[in-house]
Each structure stands twice: as structure tokens, then as C-alpha cells.
Amino acid sequence: MKSIKWFNKLIVTGLFLLSTIASADIIVTDELEGEGYSATFGFPVINTVDIWSFSTSGGTVSFDIFAYGFNGSVLDSMVWLFKEDGDLDSLDMLGQIDDDPLTLFFGDGSTSKIDSYLTSSIDAGNYLFAIGWCCEYGPSDILDGVQGGTPDDLVNSTLTESYAYQLTIKGEIDTFGAYNETVLVPEPAILALFSLGLLALTWRRKNFHN
């Protein structure tokens, strides 16, 4: 199950490269997995956490989640932002947030205030953005990619639920991808020039052989 999920993330990263050609925003979709609802707590006893890695040249970066109602999802999201310094721990957390109570950031399609929105002014460097289930999980519980347990617990669990979400990122992002699988964010102008170059080369070869 875990290997399939990481394979899916590789596909998401590849699709992201294509999406940046047409848009300055980064938009990715993925899903969390869980054991199903707990009768006691009303949310999954254990579920996965997605951790995305990115680098920036600095400035204001925003993260907008559309989860509740997205492709039938009932995810009540919570998000965290960390500075990646090579020795990740809870002290690296820069911010966390649960809901968007002011409902000011529904441009991504959100219709519920329980969809998370986080914005931060950050220096140039490497960072991690995590998304999981709300509400009382602290940063120390999510850094291993699992909430409410450990990766060993996840292996021994039967994941019965999936929770889709859409993440929209705005800001000066240089690289982006699944944790430890980041890729360069292509400049649209550079991609356009590259495409024109390929067309010119194809035309030249065709005419040369004719």
C-alpha cells in the first residue's frame, strides 16, 4: 500500500510539471488514507500524513486546501509548515492551522470553513508542508507520516478510508514535490522557448532530409 502511494506521488509530481506551464500557481491533488471512523473520536484512529517539500527564494507563500466535499471527501484538514534544516523535529515548525473561519479564501473551490488556509512570510530556503486530519495533533505526531500511531502501526492496519484533497500554493516556489522527491519548477517562458527549439529542430531535420 505504501509503495503504491509513493508511486502515485511520483505521478502527481510529474503532472505538476505540466500544470505549471499554464499557471503560476501550484495545484496538486492527492489523498490521505485511514482506518475508518472511530465511534469514540469521530475520526480515523490512525491515518497517513502527506508531507510536501519545497524551496523558495523568499516572500509570502500561501497554502489553500480544498478537501471537504472535494471528490466526495469528508476530510477535516489540518496543516503544518516546517523549516527544513536537515535535522527535522517539532522545533522546526513555523506554523499550523486548522480551519479557515473567515471563509476568505474560497477561490480554489472550497465551500466549507473547515478547509485549512495558511499563509506565511518566509526567508529563502527549504521547507516542508504537511497535511493531515484535525484537530489536536501536534507537530511531533506527524513527522513520521502517520497520525495517531507509528509507521509500524500503519503496516498492521487495514486502511478502509481515503480522503481526497486539493492543495493550491501561491508564492515564489523554486522546487516542489513529495518529501525527498522535489523537482525544479519550470519557468513558462523557458518551457516555451524549449518547445519552439524542438519544433525548429524537427522542421530543419525534415527539410534537410527532403
146 three-state secondary structure: strand
Contact 79, 152 (CB under 8 A): no
User: Distance (Å, rounded) from C-alpha 122 to C-alpha 46?
Assistant: 31
Most distant CA pair in the chain, distance = 75
154-204 tens-digit pLDDT: 777 778 889 999 999 999 999 999 986 655 665 544 444 344 344 444 444
163 three-state secondary structure: strand
User: Distance (Å, rounded) from C-alpha 23 to C-alpha 19?
Assistant: 6
- The DSSP secondary-structure symbol of 37 reads B
User: Distance (Å, rounded) from C-alpha 101 to C-alpha 75?
Assistant: 16
Q: Please compute Rg for the chain using Cα positions.
A: 19
What are 21's three cell numbers? 506551464
7-59 tens-digit pLDDT: 455 444 444 444 443 346 899 999 999 887 777 777 778 888 999 999 999 99
What are 54's three cell numbers? 519545497
* Domain positions in the chain: 2-209
